[in-house]
Chains A and B, each alone.
Chain A
């Protein structure tokens, strides 16, 4: 099984530790992980801003980088969702379809493909889980509060395997944090208000860490926490699942 690691551009540039944790976490599970070095971005920042029509070169590059692997795994539900829904090929659409079908968000790869039962990780902290919308409602990584159906959560299943970790329940378990790509600057006031409200929900349950499977949401929340000089910290779920502290 050849697995390619897809590291979203902003993780590559700003949060290399999240990428390293993802790589180590997969290696610990005995996966043979390759990192195609010519990768850049999935094209989502442009597409969500309405510029899907200029993303063909990024799409072509993505297909060229990842087509040969059995699986593509990425620590971002949002980028994976974008690839799954909007990746198209210039020449051979079958190639795009192959890529779309074999890309997985990290937690779903762990629970659904590897079917991990044990992580041998330890993280002795009180943690709140932020459900990023694209992973949750787009990739259905967990049940959504709007839907009348059985409860499940791939992230929670994994977090519950971590020794010492205490997971709290939120008042609003899956409300959006307000990041939303260019929304976070185009609609600055609402974006920040949404972020502040999410943080308040976590803080009122005495969390030490806010985690989630999308670093973009967490980057937005971290920006607000730092401005508020809060002691609450941000950790990507890969860092927690890979932790031994």
Chain B
């Protein structure tokens, strides 16, 4: 499965998404509904804001002591009979996973949802090695059949309407044409997936939390697909980013209370499965992946993005995400959190993402672990622009504007001959090529500026 395509910037892809306004309305309302469910769930917990603070502090402690917790986790996991692997890069991660699979000779495997494997493009890699991977999360399976990446980390196929899913199932699973009843389609998917579960001796899962104190991992799903895969498999491979660590089991309650409420407005996910050791005769592997995370740890400005527990609340609340769709971000993790994670991996490639925001701050407010998402977006803009990854034309305009705005006489003079901002702020430049004018009228320049009015009417006051 190839997700490779020419990287167009967010604005271009978002503009494409907006060609169909009724679809944008539908997408916006669907996700706003999830945001409202989150609000209701949060209001059920009077100590909600306190809980966010506690979660944030636990995660801060983890980031401050990550090295020690990872060593502790590894020690306990090995003691439990788990094989622990370390990968610095996605390539190393994929090679480790493939090596485990290769030794078994198995060609068909199942995988429950893991954003880390999306980040590492594991599916594409394994397909190239001749391994057939089936995503068992229903939403993930749908986008896999459509040969698309997920558009949302919790709701991977939220961009698809039920009619489109019906057509996809008709094509790939042989369901009757024109049947798009969600219950029917879910049942069809279940039959199809059960077949694969039974056939697969290897199951890959993600990891939501890894407890340093016990060496166990916790996987949260609503469909029970992680459990089904693992229980039927001889080999369980769990893939996780190194930031998934929590110190102690008692901390888990804080995160489980926040995760599902923030994600979908449920009090808790249907399944919160603990995997602490292999069954007799079973192999269990954990692959811990860095992929830029330790670099991030060095950065005061950007490190706390590593607190993310992948709930997706920032996407559901983001007015830009809701109206541009997850694919417009061209990264495994879309939305506000993706826009601060992606530039950390490849600043040049994802230079546009921190600008795909109005900095409204709603993301920061819903974040259950209090990541300062919109402040980081602002900070990434500064870093990216200084590195010269912004547009040259914009840099020239901005420098001209800065020069005028730091010289009062020049400012008043330019203002008098046609309003300085008309010249330098692109959104008030009146012609058909100007994006402001496409769907908006210009403000009408008044006869005089306030400054001129003041000099005429109130001269005696100011200085």
- A: which residues have CB within 8 A of B? 7, 9-17, 19-20, 23, 33-41, 43, 45-55, 57-58, 60-61, 133-134, 137-138, 144-149, 172, 174-176, 178-195, 197, 219-220, 222-224, 226-227
Residue-wise, chain B 367-408 has the 8 Å CB interface mask toward A (1 for contact) of: 000000000001001101110001000110011011111111
Q: In the assembled complex, how far is the CB of residue B99 from the closest CB belonging to chain A, in whole angstroms?
A: 43
By Cβ-Cβ distance, the 6 closest A-B pairs, closest first, are A180-B358, A223-B440, A50-B385, A57-B406, A50-B381, A146-B365
Cα separation A194 to B440 with both chains bound (whole Å): 13
- B462 and A36 contacting across the interface, CB-CB below 8 Å: yes
- A13 and B24 contacting across the interface, CB-CB below 8 Å: no
Residues of B within 8 A of A181 (CB): 358
Residues of B within 8 A of A190 (CB): 11, 14-15, 18, 320, 323-324
Of B42-50, B242-250, B275-283, the stretch lying at the interface with chain A is B42-50
Option from B24, B46, B428 in Cβ contact (under 8 Å) with A148: B46
Q: A50-B385, A227-B441 are in contact. Are A35 and B462 (CB under 8 A)?
A: yes
Cα separation A134 to B443 with both chains bound (whole Å): 22
Cα separation A61 to B406 with both chains bound (whole Å): 6
Q: Mostly helix, strand, loop or mixed at chain A's interface?
A: helix
Q: Check B461 for interface membership: any CB of A closer than 8 A.
A: yes
- B357 and A48 contacting across the interface, CB-CB below 8 Å: no
Option from B11, B440, B450 in Cβ contact (under 8 Å) with A11: B450
Q: Check B435 for interface membership: any CB of A closer than 8 A.
A: yes
Residues of A within 8 A of B359 (CB): 48, 133-134, 180
- B450 and A144 contacting across the interface, CB-CB below 8 Å: no
- B48 and A148 contacting across the interface, CB-CB below 8 Å: yes
Residues of A within 8 A of B455 (CB): 37
Residue-wise, chain B 195-233 has the 8 Å CB interface mask toward A (1 for contact) of: 000000000000000000000000000000000000000
The residue among B21, B360, B365, B395 with the most chain A CB atoms within 10 A of its own CB is B360
Q: A172-B32, A189-B15, A224-B439 are in contact. Are A145 and B39 (CB under 8 A)?
A: yes
Cα separation A94 to B319 with both chains bound (whole Å): 38
Closest residue of chain A to B374, judged by CB? A137
Cα separation A20 to B14 with both chains bound (whole Å): 39
- B442 and A223 contacting across the interface, CB-CB below 8 Å: yes
Residues of B within 8 A of A54 (CB): 398-399, 402
The residue among A7, A61, A193 with the most chain B CB atoms within 10 A of its own CB is A193
Cα separation A137 to B438 with both chains bound (whole Å): 30
Task: Name 7 extra pairs, CB < 8 A, besides A54-B402, A224-B439.
Answer: A14-B445, A61-B406, A147-B365, A172-B32, A188-B15, A190-B320, A223-B441
Q: A12-B451, A148-B42, A188-B15 are in contact. Are A51 and B398 (CB under 8 A)?
A: yes
Option from A40, A192, A193 in Cβ contact (under 8 Å) with B411: A40
- A176 and B360 contacting across the interface, CB-CB below 8 Å: yes
- B443 and A223 contacting across the interface, CB-CB below 8 Å: yes
Cα separation A183 to B436 with both chains bound (whole Å): 10
- A178 and B385 contacting across the interface, CB-CB below 8 Å: no
Residues of A within 8 A of B382 (CB): 47, 50, 52-53
Cα separation A180 to B358 with both chains bound (whole Å): 4
Q: Mostly helix, strand, loop or mixed at chain B's interface?
A: helix
- B45 and A133 contacting across the interface, CB-CB below 8 Å: no
Option from B319, B426, B443 in Cβ contact (under 8 Å) with A219: B443
Cα separation A149 to B42 with both chains bound (whole Å): 11
24 contacts between A and B (CB under 8 A): A9-B405, A20-B453, A23-B458, A40-B404, A40-B408, A41-B411, A48-B359, A48-B381, A49-B381, A49-B385, A57-B403, A58-B405, A58-B406, A61-B406, A176-B319, A178-B358, A185-B427, A187-B355, A189-B18, A194-B320, A194-B323, A194-B358, A223-B440, A226-B440
- B319 and A179 contacting across the interface, CB-CB below 8 Å: no
Closest residue of chain B to A175, judged by CB? B319
Residues of A within 8 A of B462 (CB): 34-37
Q: In the assembled complex, how far is the CB of residue A241 from the closest CB belonging to chain B, in whole angstroms?
A: 17
Residues of B within 8 A of A7 (CB): 450-451
Q: A50-B382, A194-B319 are in contact. Are A36 and B361 (CB under 8 A)?
A: no
Cα separation A226 to B365 with both chains bound (whole Å): 33
Q: Check B81 for interface membership: any CB of A closer than 8 A.
A: no
Q: Check B126 for interface membership: any CB of A closer than 8 A.
A: no
Of B129-137, B165-173, B178-186, B417-425, the stretch lying at the interface with chain A is B417-425
Q: In the assembled complex, how far is the CB of residue B94 from the closest CB belonging to chain A, in whole angstroms?
A: 34
Residues of A within 8 A of B432 (CB): none
Residues of A within 8 A of B395 (CB): 51
Residues of B within 8 A of A227 (CB): 439-441
Cα separation A41 to B408 with both chains bound (whole Å): 10
Cα separation A16 to B446 with both chains bound (whole Å): 8
Option from B46, B394, B405, B428 in Cβ contact (under 8 Å) with A49: B394
Q: In the assembled complex, how far is the CB of residue B429 from the closest CB belonging to chain A, in whole angstroms?
A: 9
- B440 and A40 contacting across the interface, CB-CB below 8 Å: no
Cα separation A77 to B210 with both chains bound (whole Å): 43
Cα separation A197 to B39 with both chains bound (whole Å): 21
Q: Check B434 for interface membership: any CB of A closer than 8 A.
A: yes
Cα separation A52 to B357 with both chains bound (whole Å): 17
- B385 and A51 contacting across the interface, CB-CB below 8 Å: yes
Residues of A within 8 A of B443 (CB): 14-15, 219, 222-223
Q: Check B463 for interface membership: any CB of A closer than 8 A.
A: yes
The residue among B32, B358, B359, B435 with the most chain A CB atoms within 10 A of its own CB is B358
Residues of A within 8 A of B365 (CB): 137, 144, 146-147
Q: Check B337 for interface membership: any CB of A closer than 8 A.
A: no
Q: In the assembled complex, how far is the CB of residue A83 from the closest CB belonging to chain B, in whole angstroms?
A: 14
Closest residue of chain A to B51, judged by CB? A148
Closest residue of chain A to B419, judged by CB? A13
Closest residue of chain A to B422, judged by CB? A13
Cα separation A179 to B358 with both chains bound (whole Å): 7
Cα separation A39 to B407 with both chains bound (whole Å): 9
